[in-house]
Amino acid sequence: MGGRFVERRVRFNEDHCKSCELCVSVCPKKIIKIRTGLNRLGYHPAYVPDEDQEKCISCALCARMCPDAVIEVWRP
């Protein structure tokens, strides 16, 4: 019953995301989504679903646009 290992290319510190959605608007692959649940600050944080991680091209536009520096991007 082992789950599929997901190699993360982009990670959000969801506890500090203020849901400004700047990352959503600049993502060329349109894989960044907004959660329906709230973080501890009362915002709906951004994230990339596991099934879309491999679609990330590691351009880091999202990380550069984030005013709160909550996004980390790795290049495979």
Q: What was the pLDDT predicted at 4? A: 58
SS (H, E, C) 2-70: CCCCCCCCEEECCCCCCCCCHHHHHCCCCCCEECCCCCCCCCCCEECCHHHHHHCCCCCHHHHHCCCCC
Q: Is residue 6 part of a domain?
A: no
Q: How many domains does the chain have?
A: 1
Q: pTM of the predicted model, to two decimals?
A: 0.88
Q: Which domain holds residue 28?
A: 12-73
Q: Is residue 4 part of a domain?
A: no
pLDDT in tens, 31-45: 999 999 999 999 999
Q: Is residue 26 part of a domain?
A: yes
pLDDT in tens, 19-33: 999 999 999 999 999
Q: Is residue 1 part of a domain?
A: no
Q: What was the pLDDT predicted at 7? A: 74
Q: Is residue 56 part of a domain?
A: yes
CATH code at position 43: 3.30.70.20
Q: Is the pLDDT of residue 2 over 60?
A: no
Range 34-58 average pLDDT: 97
Q: Is residue 60 part of a domain?
A: yes
Q: Is the pLDDT of residue 3 over 70?
A: no
Distances (CA, A) of 7 to 25, 28, 67: 24, 20, 25
Q: What was the pLDDT predicted at 1? A: 47
